[in-house]
Amino acid sequence: MTKLSRGSGNHPGGSMALEVTDMKPAISDTGFGYITVEGSKIEHDIVIRLSGKTKKRKKKLSKAIYGTSHTLSLEEAKYIYQGGAKRLIIGSGQEGRVNLAEDAAEYFKKKKCGVDLQPTPKAIESWNKAKGPVIGLFHVTC
């Protein structure tokens, strides 16, 4: 993961430029019940923010509506989305069981945030290659 750094300060008018670099943590592995992010094995679903911070997924937001965390609800979509995100990569589980509710898909569309929904092993490949303002949600079981 790289970080925020200040420019040299040798800019016209004496202002300092702020250089933003890629903040995405690398994901190296996944299997049933875990995902490995920046060398740390995590044994629950995660959301990765624009800052690169990894948080536990709030799947209760979807489970309360659908009785399962395999359908991503509008409420959870609102929790996941961050202003400025242009792409959301969803790891839909080892067998690809997670899907997006219609209203959640519409919400991301209105925010102009593309959604890539793939089984988690394929999604981590997409994540590691992704450029620009991207957020992620990774389901680690079915």
Q: With CA atoms as reference, report the closest residue to 108 among 132, 128, 138, 85.
A: 85
Q: What per-residue confidence (pLDDT) applies to 22?
A: 57
Q: What is the pLDDT of residues 10-48, one digit of tens each?
A: 434 443 333 334 579 999 999 999 999 999 999 999 999
> Within a domain: residue 37?
yes
Q: What per-residue confidence (pLDDT) applies to 23?
A: 77
> Within a domain: residue 1?
no
Q: pTM here?
A: 0.84
Range of the domain at 120: 25-139
Burial 102-117 (b: 16+ CB within 10 A, else e): eebbebbeebebebbb
Q: What per-residue confidence (pLDDT) applies to 46?
A: 98
Q: What is the pLDDT of residues 78-102, one digit of tens each?
A: 999 999 999 999 999 999 999 999 9
One-letter identity of residue 91: G
| Beta-sheet strands, E only, within the chain | 5-6, 18-19, 27-31, 34-37, 40-42, 46-48, 54-56, 71-72, 87-92, 99-100, 114-118, 134-139
Q: What CATH number does the domain containing 121 carry?
A: 3.40.1230.10
> Within a domain: residue 20?
no
> Within a domain: residue 126?
yes
Which contacts of 53-56 are long-range, i.e. CB under 8 A and separated by 24 or more positions?
A: 54/25
> Within a domain: residue 15?
no
Our count of domains for the chain comes to 1
Q: What is the pLDDT of residues 67-80, one digit of tens each?
A: 999 999 999 999 99
Residue 9 pLDDT > 60, yes or no?
A: no
> Within a domain: residue 81?
yes
User: For 3-7, 33-37, 108-112, 137-141, which range has the lowest pLDDT when averaged over its residues?
Assistant: 3-7
> Within a domain: residue 7?
no
> Within a domain: residue 115?
yes
